[in-house]
């Protein structure tokens, strides 16, 4: 069914033809008076994001709302991108630029950056502490004697507890003195650490929301005290606040929505802003952060004086009837009341597997079959594999690279490399650019090059010495201190050198590393800024923008990392825990595959950020831009790679072909087993698991696969009615084919292409068979079929990893090769 409203809908029509339906149109055209709340509850694929984008356009075109008066917030960058993509189809570029569409965290971050200086005299530019920076901080400051501003105090606490203490103090859960007594800590030590963090502008990701809330409150307090308008201009400008993915809200985000809606609006008297929220309670999967499906109802209590209207959309544009029906039945035991605009498809597929490894192989080879058999109609990027944990993604990606040499891409909520060992690249760049808090980056890197027992104690000593030196050398940096010490060392007047005393281990080797590291920093800084200054002299905007490029940054990072001696650290696998006896060579190999993925992630992050930088009007260097935005700017994937994602990360996305990994590492049971057997009834159902399954299964546009440990006839009658265990024969199923073709908007390849695809698939199968039955080494065989037209043309037949020379190269060379290749 495609119930399309005729009159007003023509005005909301997109140039390429998507027209809002009647229920969508009711939401789009709903008024946006002050003191009103519009709640949109709708299921997966009903077009909530699509409808919100059209509503924004409608309010601007027909309701006298200026683009700059609209604030749109969501949880994830992906949701923000989706809204912007739809807006781009219906509004012009200039209008879109004036609308604020952002994630809660990024919005808060910009608010703090832009306005804190007006409200706090001694405000320092902030440095966002991601998880790894925070761990480094805890490692450096969690023990021994710390001396800050001349005071030396003793502290002794584990890094994990320190992290907890500081977070709890920050959110006001505990006072400093109470925390000190509870954790048996020196109160002065704790105070000094907090002061140090504030002085350097250190801020945790979650603190962004708290700080923004504080800023909003402080601006209102000033207004009350001073009695004159001291409002934050952006906030007082908004008249309409729109929140997508509302089912994911948790306490802090609700507080900020509350403050924003209640923030005074210029020329609007006492009236509060209009609020539109959209979400699906059945897709609430962030319980661990505090989100609850009921929040969509509880919001009414936050705005008692508001006129509230609730609307819904009962159709889905993503799911086939079969997938929609199965999802509701298996997840919640209910019939779906959603009508599919796509009509009939084929039943989802459930397959029995005997081990997790076997399931992974099945998935990969099924993707290969689908791509080959349809002559390249299906691209690798049309397929996504959904897992519960990142660990499973690592295992699948390892098999994909080692056995099949396939391209894959892991979807992450931010850029993956930031959460890995490559985080040290970020530290290098902070130092290179002398960003706020860069002395902390220096300490973090020093902790890595001196990796012997006692390194935390040595770093504390170094930090204390630097602080005493600072008494006579105000405002000079740790880098200056180290340089001064090393110059004295080279003049051999070194008996009294503090640095030498601290690093007396290792015959000078740490000192040498520090020395060459600092030199390389100076050299690379000169190179980069010389290029920038030369460009400034030309006064040509283009030349200035291109004066610091991703390639230059990569080269600098590489040179500095080499001088720092940090490549060993990057190339070394993480420790596997004492109890696991594992083959060391295997661990090393595994690490190299993962490292390859991280490097791609870093490289694409640079590329993506550079593209945004070139488009932006802001005056800054690319290095500045990258350091400010690398947490938020995530590259959009390419067509040649199969997608891998946890279910949480894939929320809000849709793919033609979806595989849900069924088997779990622990025990022989499928994680979903309670949903698939008669075990679960409406009373015993684990609703968090149900919602997670629902989110996973409703990502599928055409074909859905699920793994199980049991054969279909041993599963519940619901499973038997809503699934099949037969693999889809795409060319023989007209329903599935027409569904896929409409979905993909690509023509069916010619007969010849289909034929050669089939041929290639047979070659793949038979060579794989030979490989499996032969115990001899098998050399890499390129697929020599004439079908060189589709993306898998240079697909490599299984190669035992020992025969691959790719990773025998020196790791640093590999790194450089990979990094440069993509630039």
Nearest residue to the partner ligand ATP, using Cβ: 47
Judged by CB, which is closer to ligand ATP: 329, or 456? 329
Among 30, 36, 40, 47, binds ligand ATP (CB under 6 A): 47
For residue 386, give the 3-state DSSP assignment.
strand
- The pair of structure tokens assigned to 326 is 């199965």
Least spacing, CB of residue 92 vs ligand ATP, in Å: 20
11 Cα distance to chain centroid: 36
CB of 708 within 8 A of CB of 715? yes
Q: What residues contact 115, with CB distance under 8 A and at least 6 apart?
A: 215, 219, 232, 234
For residue 740, give the 3-state DSSP assignment.
helix
Judged by CB, which is closer to ligand ATP: 4, or 804? 4
Span 650-679, contacts to ligand ATP by CB under 6 A: 652, 654
Q: What residues contact 445, with CB distance under 8 A and at least 6 apart?
A: 424, 427, 428, 431, 517, 564, 566
Least spacing, CB of residue 660 vs ligand ATP, in Å: 15
Cβ burial, residue 338 (10 Å; 0-12/13-18/19+): buried
Alpha helix positions (H), 492-615: 498-502, 509-538, 541-545, 550-564, 567-571, 584-615
Judged by CB, which is closer to ligand ATP: 42, or 349? 42
Residue 49 annotated as lining a ligand binding site? yes
**Is 48 an interacting residue with respect to ligand ATP (CB under 6 A)?**
yes
**Is 24 an interacting residue with respect to ligand ATP (CB under 6 A)?**
yes
CB of 331 within 8 A of CB of 675? yes
- The DSSP bridge pattern shows strands 700-708 and 642-646 to be unpaired
Span 273-292, contacts to ligand ATP by CB under 6 A: 280, 283
Question: Residue 705 gets which letter from DSSP?
Answer: E
Judged by CB, which is closer to ligand ATP: 441, or 739? 739
**Is 437 an interacting residue with respect to ligand ATP (CB under 6 A)?**
no
Region binding ligand ATP by CB under 6 A among candidate stretches 40-48, 480-488, 494-502, 681-689? 40-48
Gap between the Cα atoms of 616 and 622, Å rounded: 11
**Is 649 an interacting residue with respect to ligand ATP (CB under 6 A)?**
no
**Is 50 an interacting residue with respect to ligand ATP (CB under 6 A)?**
yes
Least spacing, CB of residue 478 vs ligand ATP, in Å: 47
Residue-wise DSSP of 590-616: HHHHHHHHHHHHHHHHHHHHHHHHHH-
Judged by CB, which is closer to ligand ATP: 196, or 317? 317
Region binding ligand ATP by CB under 6 A among candidate stretches 16-24, 161-169, 466-474, 799-807? 16-24
Least spacing, CB of residue 449 vs ligand ATP, in Å: 46
Judged by CB, which is closer to ligand ATP: 421, or 699? 699
700-708: strand order across its sheet: 349-352, 700-708, 655-660, 383-387, 642-646, 408-410
Least spacing, CB of residue 4 vs ligand ATP, in Å: 7
CB of 350 within 8 A of CB of 708? yes
- The DSSP bridge pattern shows strands 145-148 and 151-154 to be antiparallel
What region does 4 belong to: left with phi over 0, alpha with psi -120 to 50, or beta?
A: beta
Among 29, 38, 40, 44, binds ligand ATP (CB under 6 A): 44
Cβ burial, residue 672 (10 Å; 0-12/13-18/19+): buried
Compose the 454-473 pattern: x for residues touching ligand ATP by CB under 6 A, - for all others: --------------------
Residue 45 annotated as lining a ligand binding site? yes
Span 489-528, contacts to ligand ATP by CB under 6 A: none
Give the number of residues in contact with ligand ATP, rule: CB under 6 A: 20
Judged by CB, which is closer to ligand ATP: 359, or 654? 654
Backbone angles phi, psi at 275, to 5 degrees: -125, 130
Judged by CB, which is closer to ligand ATP: 496, or 636? 636
Alpha-carbon distance values, 97 to 94, 542, 771, 774 (Å)? 5, 21, 56, 61
Gap between the Cα atoms of 369 and 689, Å rounded: 31
- The pair of structure tokens assigned to 411 is 């979807």
Residue 43 annotated as lining a ligand binding site? yes
Return the HEC string of 167-199. Answer: HHHHCCCCCHHHHHHHCCCCHHHHHHHHHHHHH
Among 5, 20, 162, 329, binds ligand ATP (CB under 6 A): 20
**Is 18 an interacting residue with respect to ligand ATP (CB under 6 A)?**
yes
Least spacing, CB of residue 77 vs ligand ATP, in Å: 14
Judged by CB, which is closer to ligand ATP: 318, or 388? 318
Gap between the Cα atoms of 802 and 519, Å rounded: 39
Residue 44 annotated as lining a ligand binding site? yes
Alpha-carbon distance values, 586 to 131, 405, 801 (Å)? 28, 17, 10
**Is 373 an interacting residue with respect to ligand ATP (CB under 6 A)?**
no
Least spacing, CB of residue 277 vs ligand ATP, in Å: 13
Least spacing, CB of residue 680 vs ligand ATP, in Å: 23
**Is 248 an interacting residue with respect to ligand ATP (CB under 6 A)?**
no
Judged by CB, which is closer to ligand ATP: 283, or 756? 283
Judged by CB, which is closer to ligand ATP: 316, or 444? 316
Among 12, 36, 46, 441, binds ligand ATP (CB under 6 A): 46
Q: Name the percent of the chain in helix, strand, coil, to the closest 5.
A: 55, 10, 35
Compose the 307-336 pattern: x for residues touching ligand ATP by CB under 6 A, - for all others: ----------xx------------------
Number of C-beta neighbours around residue 794 at 10 A = 9
Least spacing, CB of residue 69 vs ligand ATP, in Å: 23
Region binding ligand ATP by CB under 6 A among candidate stretches 44-52, 127-135, 357-365, 420-428? 44-52
Least spacing, CB of residue 346 vs ligand ATP, in Å: 20
Least spacing, CB of residue 25 vs ligand ATP, in Å: 9
Region binding ligand ATP by CB under 6 A among candidate stretches 12-20, 289-297, 473-481, 492-500? 12-20
CA trace torsion 87, 93, 94, 96 (10° rounding): 20
HSE toward the beta carbon, residue 818, CA cutoff 13 A: 21
Gap between the Cα atoms of 592 and 582, Å rounded: 16
Return the HEC string of 213-253. Answer: HHHHHHHHHHHHHHCCCCCCHHHHHCCEEEECCHHHCCHHH
- The pair of structure tokens assigned to 70 is 């609209």
Judged by CB, which is closer to ligand ATP: 46, or 556? 46
Residue 48 annotated as lining a ligand binding site? yes
Compose the 680-699 pattern: x for residues touching ligand ATP by CB under 6 A, - for all others: ------------------x-
Backbone angles phi, psi at 644, to 5 degrees: -125, 135
Among 5, 12, 21, 627, binds ligand ATP (CB under 6 A): 21
CB of 800 within 8 A of CB of 778? yes
Region binding ligand ATP by CB under 6 A among candidate stretches 47-55, 62-70, 536-544, 780-788? 47-55
Judged by CB, which is closer to ligand ATP: 653, or 818? 653
**Is 387 an interacting residue with respect to ligand ATP (CB under 6 A)?**
no
**Is 45 an interacting residue with respect to ligand ATP (CB under 6 A)?**
yes
- The pair of structure tokens assigned to 731 is 């060319």
Judged by CB, which is closer to ligand ATP: 14, or 640? 14
Judged by CB, which is closer to ligand ATP: 384, or 462? 384
Among 12, 23, 29, 49, binds ligand ATP (CB under 6 A): 49
Binding site, by residue number, is 42-49
Binding site for ATP, by residue number, is 42-49
Residues engaged in binding ligand ATP (CB under 6 A): 18-21, 24, 42, 44-50, 280, 283, 317-318, 652, 654, 698
């Amino acid at each position: 069914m495609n119930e399309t409203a005729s009159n007003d809908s023509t005005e909301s029509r997109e140039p390429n033809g998507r027209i809002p339906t009647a229920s969508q149109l009711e939401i789009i055209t709903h008024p946006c008076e002050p003191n009103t709340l519009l709640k949109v509850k709708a299921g997966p694929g009903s077009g909530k994001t699509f409808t919100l984008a059209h509503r924004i356009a409608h309010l601007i075109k027909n309701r006298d709302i200026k683009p700059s008066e609209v604030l749109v917030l969501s949880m994830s960058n992906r949701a923000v991108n989706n809204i912007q993509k739809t807006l781009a189809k219906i509004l012009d570029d200039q209008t879109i630029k004036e609308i604020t569409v952002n994630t809660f965290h990024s919005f808060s971050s910009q608010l703090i950056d832009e306005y804190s200086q007006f409200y706090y005299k001694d405000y320092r530019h902030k440095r966002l502490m991601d998880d790894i920076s925070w761990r480094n901080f805890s490692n450096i400051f969690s023990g021994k004697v710390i001396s800050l501003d001349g005071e030396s105090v003793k502290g002794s606490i584990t890094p994990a507890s320190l992290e907890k203490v500081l977070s709890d103090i920050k959110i006001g859960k505990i006072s400093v003195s109470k925390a000190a007594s509870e954790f048996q800590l020196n109160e002065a030590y704790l105070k000094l650490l907090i002061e140090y963090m504030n002085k350097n502008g250190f801020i945790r990701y979650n603190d962004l929301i708290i700080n923004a809330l504080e800023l909003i409150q402080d601006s209102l307090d000033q207004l009350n005290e001073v009695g004159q308008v001291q409002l934050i201009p952006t906030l007082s400008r908004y008249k309409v606040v729109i929140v997508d993915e509302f089912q994911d809200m948790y306490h802090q985000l609700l507080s900020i929505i509350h403050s924003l809606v209640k923030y005074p609006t210029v020329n609007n008297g006492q009236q509060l802003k209009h609020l539109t929220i959209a979400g699906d309670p059945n897709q609430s999967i962030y319980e661990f952060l505090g989100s609850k499906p009921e929040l969509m109802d509880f919001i009414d209590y936050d705005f008692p004086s508001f006129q509230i209207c609730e609307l819904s959309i009962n159709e889905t544009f993503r799911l086939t009837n079969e997938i929609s029906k199965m999802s509701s039945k298996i997840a919640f035991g209910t019939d779906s009341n959603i009508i599919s605009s796509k009509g009939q498809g084929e039943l989802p597929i459930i397959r029995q597997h005997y081990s997790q490894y076997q399931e992974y192989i099945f998935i990969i080879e099924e993707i290969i079959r689908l791509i080959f058999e349809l002559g390249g109609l299906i691209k690798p990027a049309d397929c996504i594999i959904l897992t519960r944990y990142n660990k499973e993604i690592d295992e699948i990606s390892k098999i994909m690279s080692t056995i099949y040499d396939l391209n894959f891409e892991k979807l992450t909520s931010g850029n993956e490399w930031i959460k890995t060992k490559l985080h040290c690249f970020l530290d290098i760049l902070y130092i290179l650019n002398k960003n706020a808090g860069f002395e902390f980056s220096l300490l973090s890197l020093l902790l890595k090059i001196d990796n012997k027992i006692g390194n935390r104690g040595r770093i504390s000593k170094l930090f204390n010495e630097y602080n005493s030196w600072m008494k006579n050398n105000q405002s000079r940096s740790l880098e200056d201190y180290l340089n001064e010490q090393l110059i004295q060392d080279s003049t051999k007047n070194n008996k009294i050198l503090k640095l030498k005393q601290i690093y007396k281990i290792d015959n000078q080797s740490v000192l040498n590393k520090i020395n060459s590291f600092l030199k390389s920093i100076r050299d690379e800084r000169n190179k980069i800024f010389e290029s920038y200054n030369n460009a400034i002299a030309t006064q040509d905007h283009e030349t200035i923008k291109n004066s610091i490029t991703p390639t230059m940054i990569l080269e600098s990072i590489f040179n500095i990392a080499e001088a720092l001696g940090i490549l060993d650290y990057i190339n070394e696998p993480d420790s596997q825990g004492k109890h696991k006896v594992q083959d060391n060579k295997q661990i090393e190999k595994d690490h190299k595959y993962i490292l390859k993925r991280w490097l791609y992630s870093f490289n694409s992050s640079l590329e993506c950020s550079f593209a945004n930088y070139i488009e932006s009007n802001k005056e800054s260097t690319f290095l500045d831009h990258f350091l400010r935005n690398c947490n938020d700017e995530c590259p959009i994937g390419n067509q040649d790679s199969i997608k891998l994602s946890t279910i949480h990360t894939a929320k809000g996305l849709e793919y033609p072909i979806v595989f849900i990994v069924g088997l779990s590492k622990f025990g022989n049971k499928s994680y979903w087993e309670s949903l698939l057997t008669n075990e679960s009834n409406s009373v015993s159902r684990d609703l968090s698991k149900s919602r997670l399954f629902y989110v996973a299964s409703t990502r599928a546009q055409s074909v859905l696969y699920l793994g199980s440990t049991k054969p279909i006839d041993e599963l519940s009658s619901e499973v038997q009615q809503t699934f099949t265990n037969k693999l889809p024969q795409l060319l023989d199923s007209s329903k599935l084919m027409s569904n896929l073709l409409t979905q993909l908007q690509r023509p069916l390849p010619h007969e010849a292409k289909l034929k050669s695809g089939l041929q290639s698939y047979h070659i793949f199968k038979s060579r794989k068979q030979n490989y499996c039955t032969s115990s001899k080494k098998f050399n890499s065989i390129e697929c020599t079929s004439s079908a060189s037209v589709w993306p898998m043309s240079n697909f490599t037949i299984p190669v035992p990893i020992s025969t691959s020379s790719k990773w025998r190269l020196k790791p640093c060379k590999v790194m450089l090769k990979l990094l440069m290749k993509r630039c």
